[in-house]
Amino acid sequence: MGRKLALRLSQVMITKNEEKNIERALTWGKDFLYEQIVVDTGSTDRTVEIAKKMGATVLHFDWINDFAAAKNFAIKHASGDWIAILDADEYFDEVTAKRVMDEIRQAEKMKVNCIVGYILNLNSDGGIREEIPQTRLFKNHCGIRYEGAIHEQLHCPAGLKGYYPEERMNIFHTGYMAEVLQEKIDANRNLDIIKKTLEKDPDNADMYGYLGDELMIRGKKEEASDAYRKSIELYGEPVPFGDRPIWTLETLIGNLIDKRDYEEAEKYYHFAVKNCPRDADFDYLFGKDYFRKCEFDKAIPYLERVLNLLNGDQNATGRDAISHLELVYEMLSFSCFKAEGRMKDAVRYASILLHANKKKDNVLSTFLMSFSMLDGDRNANADVAMQGVQKIYDLNDVDDCVIVCKAAVRAEYKEFIALLDRVISPENMRRMAEIVAEASES
What is the pLDDT, as a whole number, of residue 1? 33
Considering only 10-24, 86-100, 178-192, which range has the smallest mean pLDDT?
178-192
Domains of the chain, residue spans:
9-177, 188-277, 333-441
Q: Which residues of 329-366 are buried (b: 16+ CB within 10 A; e: fewer)?
A: bbbbbbbbbbbeebbebbbbbbbebbeeebebeebbbb
Task: Give CA–CA dist 340/335, Å, rounded.
Answer: 10
Split at pLDDT 50, 70, 90, the class of 323 is: confident
What is the pLDDT, as a whole number, of residue 441? 60
What pTM does this model have?
0.81
Q: What is the mean pLDDT of the chain?
A: 92
**CATH number of 188-277: 3.90.320.10, 3.30.2130.10, 1.25.40.10, 3.30.1490.20?**
1.25.40.10
- Residue 171, SS3 per DSSP: strand
Is 9-177 a domain of CATH 1.20.1560.10? no
What does the pLDDT look like over 337-390, one tens digit per residue?
999 999 999 999 999 999 999 999 999 999 999 999 999 999 999 999 999 999
Evaluate if residue 49 carries a pLDDT over 60: yes
Task: Give CA–CA dist 19/118, Å, rounded.
Answer: 25
Give the count of alpha carbons within 13 A of 126, CB side only. 0
Q: Using an 8 Å Cβ cutoff, are 98 and 108 in contact?
A: no
Q: Strand pairing of 162-163 and 90-92?
A: unpaired
Question: Mean pLDDT throughout 48-69?
Answer: 97
Q: List, in order, residues 6 or more apart from 240 with CB less than 8 Å away.
A: none
What does the pLDDT look like over 155-169, one tens digit per residue?
999 999 999 999 999
Split at pLDDT 50, 70, 90, the class of 3 is: very low
